[in-house]
Structure 1
Amino acid sequence: MTAQPQEIRKGRKYDQVLAGAREVFMGEGFEGASVDDIARAAGVSKATLYSYFPDKRLLFLEVARTECSERATNAMAKIDTSRPVAEVLTDAAERMVAFYTSEFGLRMFRVFVAESARFPDIGRAFHRSGPEMARGHMVGYLEEAAARGEVEIEDFALAADQFHELCRADLFYRAIFNVTQDFTPEECQRVTRGAVETFLARYGA
């Protein structure tokens, strides 16, 4: 495939192509994924694959954008933000910890870190589709909570970033460095509880 990004064509087999590409990219990384493997996993011909995505990087970025967007949007949509702030943050923290320690979350992180040095546009696109989108959802909620007098925050973007980092404490780093891949509910609750209590100790009204 060529190196220049081109227009994405949507069509009947678009989702099928994305599903096959996701499977191969997550298992083999960007460089290790071949057109033949992606077409085989998607159950389409190479000609069909090329007709949708003439550029492999474009396909890779679309997989990342779609996955991150759906996960971030669905996670926030399932949280009742009208509840007390401690309950909302606990729900959000539980979802974040689960994602950060999931097989998909870890594979996604490893692939993008590995490829972003050689292909900076891949790293930037992942940041826009993942961390920036998650931050936007959290900032929106914190602004609502501040308007209700539940938190006192001046820099909402920084506060959102700090909350995400609190949810990555201990478990994520043990998982990403292959110290361990399995965590007990008690270990996850420890990180979740600590993230919420620490955040509210700093920003709670």
Structure 2
Amino acid sequence: MNRRLVAPPPPAAPARRDDGRGPWLADGPPARGPARRGAARALPALVLFDRDGTLVEDVPYNGDPARVRLMPTARDAVAAVRAAGIPLGVVSNQSGVARGLLTRDQVEAVRRRVDELLGPLHVWAICPHGPGDGCGCRKPAPGLVLAACGRLGVPAARAAVIGDIGADMGAARAAGARGILVPTPVTRAEEIQAAPAVAPDLLTAVRLLLSSDPEGGHRPMEVEER
């Protein structure tokens, strides 16, 4: 998720504060559950992606579907997870809603555009709150990960989260899920050092998940797992 400070136009409406109802959830096609053949290889039962800076280019407070651009290897990464029979989802902080810079309709329009580009994902969990709202869903809190897992009936311990900053890894850790960091130019050095696993791109991160084997299966050489 974006951490850069920008100077957008003054909001046209009062900032939305925490309404106490937790994250927004959007469902995609029914999930058939984790691939049966993956159980012996410890494949994840659900793969959750951060949105901005991970699946799509980070455009601060973007509410325009026309500005949505996929990150390198995002299409192939999603296709690989689908081919393995594993449900997919997105967990995304969207504080622009709380700041009065985005509407729910705009967030939904961007979600639909991502689904158009990648194919419908099984679940979206979005935090519309700001840093000071005290919600339990804004990453690095675990609420988004837990909500997505709950919607699909997947134990958080069997989920994996792929993101580009430390808040994504913090949410994964707090929920008890696995985390893989795919750094971008905005990722801090200390976040890379603290990440449980680091991959140079999304497809490599997915390949790590799909090749995981507690009995000593192959791990790609370009991935550093800590």
Question: Normalization by structure 1: what TM-score?
Answer: 0.37
Greater helix share, 1 or 2?
A: 1
Question: Normalization by structure 2: what TM-score?
Answer: 0.34
Greater strand share, 1 or 2?
A: 2
Which of 1 and 2 has higher RCO (CA within 8 Å, sep 6+)? 2
